[in-house]
Amino acid sequence: MRVQSVGTLEYAHPSFVDYFLASIRLIHGLTSILPGLLLLAFMELPASGPFSAFLGFFAVLSVIIFQTVGIYSEEVFSTLLRFRVMLVAWAAAFSFLIFMHQGMGLFNYLETKHLVFWFFTSAVLFGAERLAMLALFRRLMARGMFLQNAVILGGTENGLRVAEHLQNHRDIRTGVLGFIDDRLERLPKELANLPLLGNTRDLERMIREEKVTQVLVALPWFADSRIGQLINELRKLPVNVLLVPDMVAFRHADKRITEVGGLPTLIASDLPLRGWSPFFKRLEDIVISSIALLAAAPVMLLIALAIKLDSPGPVLFKQKRYGYNNRLIEVFKFRSMYHEKSDANADRQTTRGDDRITRVGRFIRKTSLDELPQLLNVFLGSMSMVGPRPHATATKAAGVLFEDAVAEYSARHRVKPGITGWAQINGYRGETDTLEKIEKRVEFDLDYIERWSVWFDLYILVRTPPALLLNKDVY
């Protein structure tokens, strides 16, 4: 890699990116056929014929598929692990080999165990290569090497936000040298721990000396004429010029861009489950709740009998709670309180030693067995297996209604409530005697909504039993 010194930072020659990506493509091609080569070498498979000839073709095909999926996009230089997209790309490439083997009857000497070995060996190697690449990037950054040497044009409030954002999301693509501003006499020598490098005349000199390869224009957007003038001047120079959005608006967006009538816009919020996602989540709920109801039926019958023998009153307790889109739903639970002391609106939260709770009720609340009837809610469609927990209409935190305590509280209702959730497995379950507890619940709930996937749901479900056993805040 040829680099050029720029103060304490160095930047890669533009051709380095091309050489690096070419090397990655070569490594990926070899990785895709390495298990096949091992099979040829150590398992006495035929070394001649269509299989050996196919290996080279399959390596090229794999790289082409990786290119199509976006493996070699700019994100290859990010700090993201990218395991999922790599696995999808490899599965797509490997499906072609399966087609050749099964559909066309080629390579019949390859058994199923050989194909399984091939797929998983390459998958593990792809993951290891990505980790090695990230380690290399960290070492290069520690030595002050970046793909681009950038300056922030504008020592403004927006420029400071840009600098802070880049410092918190640092990767090898951009190393920030400092600020450029024409108001030298009115600004401190350092902004956001970065030096003030000079004015626009100094910037032109630095660009011509090839010390700066990228300019981030962070002037306020109302300075339209000034921005236009600067961009017109910078276009005459060999430098990348990027117009940074107003970080105040950017902070309220989820950093994705869409078009409305051809006008680029930042997405601040959209439907949490789009496309096929609602169908897959509903299918997940029906399958899991059906299996769980069948498996839990004997336990539910025993609990119902114990409740009947312990105290007079109905076995089930029905309570109005907020569901999807703030609609009221009726949630089923096993009755855990004395019937005459039941609290339909949850005006008073349960506490340690609460005299309203029966002997059986104390056990089923502690173990969350009182919530088993909510599997019926899931099966019927008013709840989901995983989601923000539904709260009763009058539930309070430190004497304040939840919706008054947290401004974003109602945003939880953009999806169906769940029997378990991201907040619950992170310890936020049971009594909410402080505002901080409900604030953290909402924070985890909103994080779940943004990150939803079937795999995330399954992860939460697997984590739920140990979280229930270890939780000591439920009375």
Average pLDDT over residues 145-170: 90
Residue 257 has pLDDT above 70, yes or no: no
> Is the pLDDT assigned to residue 432 strictly greater than 70?
no
pLDDT band at 250 (very low <50, low <70, confident <90, very high): low
Q: Is 296 exposed, middle or buried (0-12, 13-18, 19+ CB in 10 A)?
A: middle
Nearest to 14 by CA among 232, 242, 239: 239
CA-to-CA distance for 50 and 64, rounded, in angstroms? 21
pLDDT of residue 255: 54
Residue 127: is it exposed, middle or buried by C-beta count within 10 angstroms (0-12/13-18/19+)?
Answer: middle
Classify strands 263-266 and 384-386 as parallel, antiparallel or unpaired: unpaired
What is the average pLDDT across 138-162?
91
Q: Is 257 exposed, middle or buried (0-12, 13-18, 19+ CB in 10 A)?
A: exposed
Check pLDDT > 60 for residue 75. Answer: yes
User: What average pLDDT does the segment 103-122 reach?
Assistant: 84
Fold of 148-266: Rossmann fold (3.40.50)
Structure tokens at 202: 């100094």
345 vs 401: CA distance, rounded Å:
12
Over the Cα atoms of the chain, what is R_g? 30
pLDDT greater than 90 at residue 475 = no
- Percent of the chain past pLDDT 90, that is, above it, reads 41
Mean of the pLDDT values across residues 170-192?
89
| pLDDT tens-digit series, residues 160-174 | 988 998 888 888 999
Q: Which long-range contacts (CB under 8 A, 24 or more apart) does 347-353 make?
A: 347/394, 349/395, 349/396, 349/431, 349/432, 349/433, 350/431, 350/475, 351/431, 351/475, 352/475, 353/475
Residue 252 has pLDDT above 90, yes or no: no
pLDDT average, residue stretch 112-131: 95
Q: For the chain, which residues make up each domain, given as ranges?
A: 14-142, 148-266, 277-470
State residue 5's pLDDT score.
Answer: 38
Output 14 or 474, whichever has higher pLDDT: 14
pLDDT digits (tens, 9 = 90+) for 190-210: 888 999 999 999 999 999 998
- The residue that leads in pLDDT, 158 or 257, is 158
Give pLDDT tens digits for 404-415: 656 667 778 888
Pairwise CA distance, residues 176 & 212, whole Å: 10
Whether pLDDT at 396 is above 60: no
pLDDT in tens, 274-314: 778 888 999 999 999 999 999 999 999 999 999 999 888 89
**pLDDT tens digits, 435-468:** 777 888 888 888 898 888 888 999 999 998 888 7
Pairing state between β 257-260 and 175-180: unpaired
Please tell me the predicted confidence (pLDDT) of residue 474. Answer: 53
Q: Is the pLDDT of residue 341 over 50?
A: yes
And the tokens for 430?
A: 């049971």
Q: Which residue has the higher pLDDT, 393 or 239?
A: 239
pLDDT of 6 over the 60 cut: no
pLDDT tens sequence across 8-38: 577 666 678 889 999 999 999 999 999 988 8
What is residue 413's predicted lDDT score, i.e. its pLDDT?
80
Q: What is the pLDDT of residue 103?
A: 72
Number of residues assigned to the chain: 475
How far is residue 85's CA from residue 66's CA, in Å, rounded to a whole number? 9
What six digits make up the tokens of 437? 């507890």
Mean pLDDT over each residue of the chain, to the nearest integer:
84
> Which of 43-52, 58-67, 70-79, 372-381 is predicted least confidently?
43-52
For residue 23, the cross-strand partners are none
Q: How far apart are CA 25 and CA 82, in angstroms?
A: 16
Token pair recorded at residue 352: 């340690």
Q: How confident is the model at residue 346 (pLDDT cuts 50, 70, 90)?
A: low
What pLDDT sits at residue 4? 39
Higher local confidence (pLDDT), 135 or 346: 135
